[in-house]
Chain A
Amino acid sequence: MEEKDLIISAKRGDQLAFAMLFKNNYPFLVKYLIKITMNPDTAEELAQETMAKCVEKIGMFNGKAKFSSWLISIATNLFIDQQRKSQREKNWKYQEETSRRMKWQLESRNEEWNDALSALGKLKEDIRIPIILKHYYGYSYEEIGEMMKISAGTVKSRVHNGIMAVREELKLHDEPKSAAARTRTSR
């Protein structure tokens, strides 16, 4: 059964079709949530909440976008709301701690870690999410704007600022520019 048929059946109230849709999209959803939360436990909890919300809202799904895109759009908004409610966004240490725990988890299994992930972990979620959606999943600024309920221009500026912050963390500075400035001042 194709995804479109499953969606039609799910809309009609077929629980098995709904369950199959969820099962097919579950790994994609959880992996996306791991990337934005940097915490596998939170990712699994959020995935279940996302699916519960999805059952509520399936009637509103118009089928224009892919089902997986709709799922991550719901998941993104749930995560942002959750962060706002718990006011964790104000707690910078919490985010750093989460990414450090993730690093430790990977390294304890002899897996690699990448400094860009630490840099991403230090960013606020409303900046980290657009970067992940744009540069990992390849969504357009307009699509991300629709998902996050903000304008495409805001998405663009958040992605730009986020990349600049990551560059700072990774120490990818404009060396020739600063070198030129140095020679100018030495003269």
Chain B
Amino acid sequence: MTNRKVLPLEHEHQDENDLAAIKEIEDGLDLLEKNVPVYTPDLQFFEQLITDQKQIMKKKLLRDLAIFIVVALLVVSSVLFMLYQLPVAFFILQGIVTVFIIAYSTVSFVKQVNGT
């Protein structure tokens, strides 16, 4: 607080120049605001845009859902196949997955602790 008294005059001058630059910027942007015409479409245009976007979202959702179901069926059928046809491979895979999850969680936790 006491340092405020000894602010150099150069800073004041710098502030003046900054303010002048800001004023120029504001004036320039104001020119764009006032002089570039913007045509606003009618309400139907916006309604159509919303309908189209909702259709796109619906299609995307259905596609994602289909991909998810196909992948899930593949994973489940291969796991069941392994369990009944190759039980040793199944238990080895279970072990590997468990070790991987424990290792991954530990590394993430350590990183988080070190980061804070």
- A residues neighboring B (CB under 8 Å): 15-16, 18-20, 22-23, 26-27, 30-31, 34-35, 40, 48, 51-52, 55-56, 102, 106, 109, 111-117, 120, 131-132, 135-136, 163, 166-167, 170, 172-174, 176-177
B47 engages A16 (CB within 8 Å): yes
Q: Name the interface size band of chain B.
A: 35 or more
Interface residue B22 (Cβ < 8 Å from any Cβ of A): yes
**Min distance, Cβ A154 to any Cβ of chain B, angstroms:** 19
Number of A-B contacts defined by CB within 8 Å: 119
Residues of chain B having any CB pair with chain A under 8 Å: 10, 13-14, 17-18, 20-22, 24-33, 35-36, 38, 40-44, 46-47, 49-51, 53-54, 56-57
A48-B49, A117-B31 are known contacts. Are A131 and B41 too (CB-CB below 8 A)?
no
Q: Contact at B26–A135, with CB atoms within 8 Å? A: yes
Quick check: B57 and A55 within 8 Å, CB to CB? yes
In the complex, which residue of chain A has the Cβ closest to the Cβ of B9? A176
- Lowest 9 A-B CB distances belong to which pairs? A114-B28, A116-B24, A19-B46, A117-B28, A116-B28, A55-B53, A111-B35, A22-B46, A19-B47
